[in-house]
């Protein structure tokens, strides 16, 4: 149980285009989902907290107009990287919180912007 | 400033030995601390959670201790196996709602046959 999926697992795009990443909780409902970014050999950095039916809460330094988050249902949150640039290339990971304190993570999405 | 520090140097040990990883934190008062395993190119996998009023937690070959006075958690893997080779992350819950997790950079463990 407590499986989280992400799609796509990897994506390559041209600079200036937008990319959407989906995060789904497959066997549970998650009122709260989180989006992280991880650069090579670095820690996971929280980007935003997403609550179903309300606006996401972004961490300091994360541009909300660039990283659009939509949490339309209890099992789906999406992250759209708008006008992507090479510096946005990273490993994007989502997690979903089941009741309690534990977060369950998706397998991650590798974004490469050319 | 708030910091979570894990040994950035890789830990190399022989199969069968006990691996001990350290997580130190400053300027936090976490209600609990978690340990995750991350394999290359994959998302973290939850291992153990230990609360501030718990000194020790065990799960199979894993053991976690939490010393709120020293502001330190130790993560032990006994009878280590090559399959235990991975990066291990500690994470603290941040105050301010939503149970946000703040992660350390992780320590890479390599278990050699």
> Could you tell me the two tokens for A110?
């590798």
Looking at beta carbons, which residues of chain A come within 8 Å of B87? Answer: none
Integer Cα distance of B9 and A56 in angstroms: 36
| Residue from B3, B30, B40, B43 whose CB has the most chain A CBs within 10 Å, to mutate | B43
**In this structure, are residues B22 and B88 in contact, taking their beta carbons and an 8 Å threshold?**
no
User: What letter does residue B94 receive in the DSSP assignment?
Assistant: P
Confidence of residue B59 (pLDDT cuts 50, 70, 90): very high
pLDDT over 80 at A1, yes or no: no
Torsion of CA B21, B6, B2, B44, to 10 degrees: -90
pLDDT of B97: 61
Select the residue of B32, B43, B102 nearest A107 (Cβ to Cβ): B43
Chain segment B66-106, per-residue pLDDT in tens: 999 999 999 999 999 999 999 999 999 876 566 788 899 99
CA neighbours closer than 13 Å in the CB half-sphere of residue B24: 6
Average pLDDT over residues A84-104: 90
CB-CB: which of B41, B100, B104 is closest to A46? Answer: B100
Sort out which chain A residues have CB atoms less than 8 A from B36's CB and list them: 105
CA distances for B53 relative to B1, B30, B49, B101, B111, angstroms: 24, 11, 12, 19, 32
Residue written as token pair 């190119």? B41
Is the CB of residue B82 less than 8 Å from the CB of residue B111?
yes
* B contact test, residue of A26, A34, A97, A101 with most B CBs within 10 A: A101
Produce one character per residue of A62-71: b if its CB has 16 or more CB atoms within 10 Å, e if not: beeeebbbeb
- Closest CA–CA distance from residue B42 to any residue of chain A (Å): 5
Per-residue pLDDT reduced to its tens digit, A51-80: 888 889 999 999 999 999 998 888 999 999
Q: From B35, B56, B60, select the one nearest B45 (Cα to Cα).
A: B35
The pLDDT tens digits of the residues spanning A12-62 come to 999 999 999 999 999 888 888 999 999 988 889 999 999 888 889 999 999
CB-based contact B41 A32, cutoff 8 Å: no
Phi/psi for B44 (5° steps) reads -65, 150
Helix (H) or strand (E) holding B52: none
The predicted pLDDT at position A12 comes to 97
**Chain B hits for A110, Cβ within 8 Å:** 41
Residues in A 3-62 with any Cβ partner in B closer than 8 A: 4, 6, 32, 34, 41-46, 49, 51, 57
Distance (Å, rounded) from C-alpha A15 to C-alpha A10? 16
pLDDT of residue B41 exceeding 80, the answer is yes
Strands B101-103 and B45-51: unpaired
B3: confidence class by pLDDT, cuts 50, 70, 90: confident
């Amino acid at each position: 149980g407590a499986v989280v999926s992400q799609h796509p697992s990897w994506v390559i795009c041209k600079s200036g285009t937008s990319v959407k990443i989906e995060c789904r909780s497959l066997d549970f409902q998650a009122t709260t989902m989180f989006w992280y970014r991880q650069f090579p050999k670095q820690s996971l950095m929280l980007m935003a907290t997403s609550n179903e039916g309300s606006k996401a809460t972004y961490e300091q330094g994360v541009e909300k107009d660039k990283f659009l988050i939509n949490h339309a249902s209890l099992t789906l949150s999406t992250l759209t990287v708008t006008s992507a640039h090479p510096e946005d290339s990273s490993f994007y990971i989502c997690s979903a919180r089941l009741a309690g304190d534990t977060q369950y993570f998706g397998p991650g999405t590798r974004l490469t912007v050319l | 400033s708030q910091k979570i520090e894990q040994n950035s140097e890789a830990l190399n040990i022989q199969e069968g030995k006990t691996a001990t990883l350290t997580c130190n934190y400053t300027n936090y008062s976490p209600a609990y601390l978690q340990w995750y395993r991350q394999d290359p190119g994959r998302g973290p996998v939850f291992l153990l959670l230990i609360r501030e009023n718990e000194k020790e937690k065990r799960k199979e070959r894993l053991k976690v201790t939490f010393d709120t006075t020293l502001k330190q958690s130790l993560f032990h893997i006994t009878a280590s196996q090559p399959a235990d080779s991975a990066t291990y992350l500690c994470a603290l819950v941040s105050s301010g709602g939503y149970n946000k997790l703040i992660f350390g950079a992780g320590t890479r463990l390599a278990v050699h046959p």
